[in-house]
């Protein structure tokens, strides 16, 4: 049985990994003098890990996995690729904290819109005064973190 606490811990750990991945890939891209090559290496390693996990947990997938799935649900790969190429190129020039902070701000905006309208089949959480206040506080926090006096 999964609990909200275990989900929160898992996502906290995933969140901790994002700036680590950005740092590692940013340096790799700079050392290789190619953000694109660094992204290909990152995705190759990721593909091997994901394939291993898939085969261990689900076995070889069948066509039934793809039935009744709209084409746009496969678009996540575009967004993750855009993120990886962007962070790999920008982070060495702009700084990890600056780059990740703006990514976080973008995530806050996107999550609010997706939740409010229930886009892509997401559970709807309407934007009310409390969620708006939380969003403003989190966005303010992002900018405070960037204030490096």
pLDDT digits (tens, 9 = 90+) for 101-126: 889 889 989 999 999 999 998 999 99
Domain boundary among 73, 94, 115: 94
Place of tokens 């905006």: 109
Query: Do residues 96 and 26 make contact, with C-beta atoms less than 8 angstroms apart?
Result: yes
102 and 86 fall within a common domain: no
Structurally, the chain folds into a number of domains equal to 2
3-state secondary structure of 68: coil
User: Rounded mean pLDDT of 83-97?
Assistant: 92
Nearest to 114 by CA among 128, 126, 101: 126
Domain of residue 142, residue span: 96-149
Rounded to two decimals, the pTM is 0.82
Greatest C-alpha distance within the chain: 56
Give, rounded to a whole angstrom, the gap between the first and last alpha carbons of the chain.
Answer: 46
107 and 56 fall within a common domain: no
31 and 72 fall within a common domain: yes
Residue 142 vs residue 56, higher pLDDT: 56
User: Rounded mean pLDDT of 2-16?
Assistant: 90
105 and 69 fall within a common domain: no
6 and 33 fall within a common domain: yes
57 and 69 fall within a common domain: yes
CA distance 28 to 2: 36
69 and 38 fall within a common domain: yes
């Amino acid at each position: 049985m999964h609990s909200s606490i275990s989900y929160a811990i898992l996502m906290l750990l995933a969140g901790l990994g994002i700036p680590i991945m950005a740092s590692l890939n940013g340096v790799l891209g700079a050392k290789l003098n190619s953000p694109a090559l660094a992204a290909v290496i990152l995705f190759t390693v990721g593909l091997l890990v994901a394939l291993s996990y898939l085969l261990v947990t689900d076995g070889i997938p069948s066509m039934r996995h793809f039935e009744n799935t709209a084409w746009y649900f496969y678009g996540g790969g575009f967004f993750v690729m855009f993120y990886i190429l962007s962070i790999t190129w920008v982070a060495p020039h702009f700084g990890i904290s600056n780059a990740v902070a703006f990514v976080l701000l973008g995530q806050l905006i996107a999550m609010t819109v997706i939740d409010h309208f229930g886009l892509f089949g997401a559970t709807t959480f309407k934007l009310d005064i409390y969620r708006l206040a939380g969003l403003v506080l989190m966005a303010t926090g992002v900018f405070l973190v960037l204030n490096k006096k």
